[in-house]
Amino acid sequence: MHSNLEGLCLSYYDDIFRYSLSLCHDRELAQDITQDTFLKALKSLHQLKDPAKLKTWLFTISRNLFITKVRQTNKYNAVSTATLLTEIIDTKILSPEQQYLLKESTDYIERIIGTLTEEEQQIFHMKVWEKYSYEEIAETLGMNPNTARVKFHRLRIKLINFIKEGERYE
């Protein structure tokens, strides 16, 4: 059984690499996170209670390793995030000044993303960067697909409100 689980882990290597890359946007760092994910998974394989949830477990390990690395390096690609943020927010409802802030201000974008909870950041990355379906987000985060859909909708509203409110404090 142990070797079967190792084989399953290896079959998920590409998925975990793409997920890691979607989080960090750095190929080398994504490779490190992916390798660390499988090392940690293989060391902790005995803790996996349900082998059917192996993929979800691997994504969770990968996400946690990414968060640890971000905290260690404090490195974040906000410019690319700004571009993607404009894809999920209907910029027609923003004033020209708000649209400019959204597209041009790296610090502003970092503050916006920084206001999100860890779960919201995960949903944002999976939906916007990785283009995950709500079903894939739900599976990865252990929730119902409708819950993932509602949380993403609320996340969009929260981001729009932050942008609108933020202009008052600039």
Residue 25 one-letter amino acid: H
Cα 123 to chain centroid, rounded: 6
For a pLDDT cut of 90, what percent of the chain falls above it?
A: 11
**How far apart (Å, rounded) are the C-alpha atoms in residues 126 and 169?**
30
Question: What value does the mean pLDDT take over residues 133-137?
Answer: 88
pLDDT beyond 90 at 21: no
> Is the model more confident about 136 or about 87?
136
Whether the CB-CB separation of 98 and 164 falls below 8 Å is answered with yes
